[in-house]
A and B are shown apart, each in its own frame.
Chain A
């Protein structure tokens, strides 16, 4: 069963629009970690954020913000005022104690920002 679901396969926006990427996860662990990674066309996966299951505080980093809601098992990611450089594939991932902390990736969402 898929542990991480990223329902949006592709999103296309015009520069300066906001874009929200959905991530829904499934786990029975009480201790787990959630991540977002960015994969630009160059191929390297870039770490964006790590959240543990006990910290539901939302976080903002520049134009990026994350909304973690345990009640709905969601960890959504918003890019505000998108730029062409934000064009990439974004992966949400889950790390569980019961899975030796290995990363379970979602299928990824391809974001295209048009000038």
Chain B
């Protein structure tokens, strides 16, 4: 059974048109992460939530926002997508933050910007 679910799997948006990607988890983990992965590159952490505490990476553009309304769901909002934002977006969860727990990843949402 899927433990980290991402919807949709493929998303096409127009340049400058806001888009929201969704992630849900059935693991009841405290931490949820969003990563951006461009072709042939390693995943790059955008931000994470530890429970309700939001932690933004220093180099994450302001164009990227996130919401976590409850333990199970987390959203990635891209306010004005540019062509350079086309990528795979991966959601991950871990049980806790300060014990080096493994992260469990969803299948990703591949975003295309036209």
Contact = CB atoms under 8 A, between A and B. Distances in A.
Contacts, number: 53
A91 interface: yes
What is the predominant secondary structure among interface residues of chain B facing chain A? loop
Nearest to A91: B42
Interface residues of B, number: 23
B43 A50 contact: no
B102 A47 contact: yes
Interface size class of A (residues with CB under 8 A): 20 to 34
Nearest to A103: B103
Interface in A56-115: 91, 95, 97, 100-103, 105-108
14 contacts: A33-B100, A43-B90, A43-B110, A44-B105, A44-B106, A45-B90, A46-B105, A47-B104, A47-B105, A50-B102, A91-B43, A95-B100, A105-B42, A106-B42
Interface of B: 40-43, 45, 48, 55, 88, 90, 92, 97-108, 110
